Amino acid sequence: PRVAVIVVAAGSGTRLGAGPKAFVGLDEHTILRHALARVFEAAPAQVVIVAPSGLEGSALTDAIEAAGERRDLVTVVTGGDSRQASVAAGIRALWADVDHVLVHDAARCLTPPEVFDRVIAALELGHAGAVPVLPVIDTIKRVEGDLIVGVVDRSELAAAQTPQGFRRDILETAYRAATAEFTDDAALVSDAGHTVLAVAGDARAFKVTTPADLERARGLVAAAPV
């Protein structure tokens, strides 16, 4: 099966406060460039980068650097106002012969190739969808205002990461049918009635969201340059 990876990089990076997040530097390379280096290790048949309006050219430059000889596999499209709108723009750019689609946050720029491999393997086994997850390590409280009103059994919980992989037809149909906003693609596909498999995530697949996350990512890259 031919695998496409949609890399969503069209966020504004409001919480980071350093401009569009995917274009912030970790070292001499941007967050997007680091994400793409790992995406290409998964040997995709197509890579769709969803860029913020006006930064399509910068995204293409990063992509060409990361792709090397495989630059023909790269498509750049313009994102939307929400993550969901950005993924939808990426889906519209998929080539006709793609069978499986991985949707990946550029902000999870240090996700190791093994995570991509596990998601792809689950799809090859015939699952409709697969999501990398980590166990929840904190004790989770239910709150009302500033009062703690209960605990949630954390053994029932998992933290979802990306890349999230889906059969192409299922992802397309679910996106076409979606009438609500979902926070990830697995929620949207589950809502459409499909079963999604959980595979092992990785601590390195954390999402760069806050300045502290950026420091962590920069520290990891400085310790083990890629």
**Of 44 and 163, CB closest to ligand C5P:** 163
Residue 46 binds ligand C5P, judged by CB under 6 A: no
Q: Which of 6, 24, 49, 50 binds ligand C5P (CB under 6 A)?
A: 50
CB atoms within 10 A of CB 200: 12
Residue 82 binds ligand C5P, judged by CB under 6 A: yes
CB atoms within 10 A of CB 152: 12
Residue 207 binds ligand C5P, judged by CB under 6 A: yes
**Of 58 and 86, CB closest to ligand C5P:** 86
Q: Which of 55, 76, 107, 187 binds ligand C5P (CB under 6 A)?
A: 107
Residue 10 binds ligand C5P, judged by CB under 6 A: yes
Q: Dihedral of the CA atoms 116, 37, 5, 18 (nearest 10)?
A: 110
> At a CB cut-off of 8 Å and minimum separation 6, what does 6 contact?
48, 50, 87, 90, 91, 94, 101, 102, 103, 104
Residue 185 binds ligand C5P, judged by CB under 6 A: no
Q: Which of 81, 138, 144, 146 binds ligand C5P (CB under 6 A)?
A: 81
Name the closest residue to ligand C5P (Cβ): 11
CA pair distance 168, 176, nearest whole angstrom? 12
For strands 140-144 and 74-78, give the pairing: unpaired
Q: What is the DSSP string of 132-154?
A: EEEE--SPEEEEETTEEEEEE-G
Q: Which of 94, 209, 213, 220 binds ligand C5P (CB under 6 A)?
A: 209
Residue in the structure block whose two tokens are 């998601």 = 119
Q: Which stretch binds ligand C5P (CB under 6 A): 54-62, 75-83, 118-126, 173-181?
A: 75-83
Residue 190 binds ligand C5P, judged by CB under 6 A: no
Q: Coil, strand or helix: which one is 32?
A: helix
Residue 146 binds ligand C5P, judged by CB under 6 A: no
List of residues contacting ligand C5P (CB under 6 A): 8-11, 21-22, 50, 79-83, 86, 105-107, 207, 209
